[in-house]
Structure 1
Amino acid sequence: MHNYDTVTGPSFSLKNRLGRVLWSLVSALLFRYSPNPMHRWRSFLLRSFGAKVGRGVHIYPKAKIWAPWNLELADQSSAADGAILYSQGKIYIGRRAVVSQGVHLCAGTHDYSQSGFPLITKPIYIGDHAWVAAEAFVHGGVSVGEGCVIGARSVVTKDMPPWMVCSGHPCKPIKKRIEEHQKQKFLQLQIT
């Protein structure tokens, strides 16, 4: 952090703030109003600002990204319109993971125990094949396990296990996630 007292000055360096101003202009003019199918164009813009973007990534034009240089999007991942990737800290979205509309991934907060409320950034990790459903909120420092499903409007304050359906406020594991092809194999084993 550039400054540990948010009352007396900004938390980020001048370089960071100028980068965000430039990104805001590019985002407003070239990213936000690009047609939905132009995923490669938006991936190019994100890469131009330091994001690590895999193949076949689908970032929709009304997704809000705070700092692309803190973002890593694995192959075939997606973030829907209205998703907020508040990347004050690092955010990783795994292979074939889905971040639905209105989801808020918040990688920054403030230390309320200190008088200057210094900024704290903590990374967010969304595992491969995971799905964070509509309007869920994921706190910084959280890992969503591989194949995990986070229910709509859940508030995720701690790590969620792989291949589980999790939901609630606070979010908790509810049941195992079994994909259709896994059910078919299980049924075939029971028959034989």
Structure 2
Amino acid sequence: MINEDTFTGASFSLRNRIARVIWAIVYQLLFEISPRPMHGWRSFLLRCFGAKVGKGVHVYPRVNIWAPWNLELGDKCGVANTAILYSQGKIKIGKRSVISQGVNVCTGTHDYTRKGSPLITKPIIIGDNVWVAAEAFIHPGVELGDGCVIGARAVVVNDMPAWMVCAGHPCKPLKKRELID
């Protein structure tokens, strides 16, 4: 961050802000209006802006992405329309993971205990084979273990363990996730 007081100036550098303006233009002109099946095209655009994008990634056209250069998307993961990847800090989504519609993955918050409420960013790591169901909220600094399921509209404020079904406000592990062949 370049500024400790969010009331007196920007938290990010001029270069970062200019890059986000350029991304917003590209997003509106080339990303958001692209037909749904054009996942390769959207992956290409994300790579042009510094995202690390695996093979077979499905990012839908109405995903709201704050800063693509802070994204890492594993092979065959999917991010549905109306999901928000508020990538002020790093977001890593593992292989074969699904981020459903309306999910908010938010890496930024403010330290309200300090004068000026400075911005704080913490990375979010979503493991392999994770499903985050519709309209869940993932707080800054959270790690979701491989194979976990986050229920619809859950509010995840702490790390969630691998291979567990988790839900609620605040989100808590409920039961073991077992796959049936």
Question: Given the two structures, how large is their TM-score scaled by the length of structure 1?
Answer: 0.94
Unaligned runs of 5+ in 1: 182-192
| C-alpha displacement of 1:4 | 0.9
What secondary structure does 2:165 align onto? strand
**2:147 aligned partner:** 147
Of Structure 1 and Structure 2, the greater helix share is in 1
| Poorly superposed stretches of 4+, deviation over 3 Å | none
CA RMSD for the aligned pairs? Answer: 0.4
Q: Give runs of aligned pairs for residues 16-165 of structure 1, distance below 5 A.
A: 16-165=16-165
Residue matched to 1:8:
8
- Structure label with greater radius of gyration: 1
Matches of 1:93 and 1:4 in 2, distance apart? Answer: 29
Q: Deviations over 1:98-120 (max 9, x none)?
A: 00000000000000001101000
Q: How many pairs does the alignment contain?
A: 181
- Give the distance between the partners of 2:166 and 2:91, measured in 1 at CA: 20
C-alpha distance in structure 1 between counterparts of 2:28 and 2:117, whole Å = 30
Normalized against structure 2, the TM-score is what?
Answer: 0.99
Deviations, residues 116-155 of structure 1 (Å, cap 9, x unaligned): 0100000000100000000000001000000000000000
Unaligned runs of 5+ in 2: none
The one-letter code sitting in structure 2 at the alignment partner of 1:48 is: C
Percentage of pairs with the same residue:
68
- Residues 23-82 of structure 1, C-alpha deviation per residue, up to 9 Å, x if partnerless? 000001100010000000000000000000000000000000000000000100110000
Task: Compute the displacement of 1:2 (Å).
Answer: 1.0
Distance (Å, rounded) in 1 between the aligned partners of 2:109 and 2:30: 29
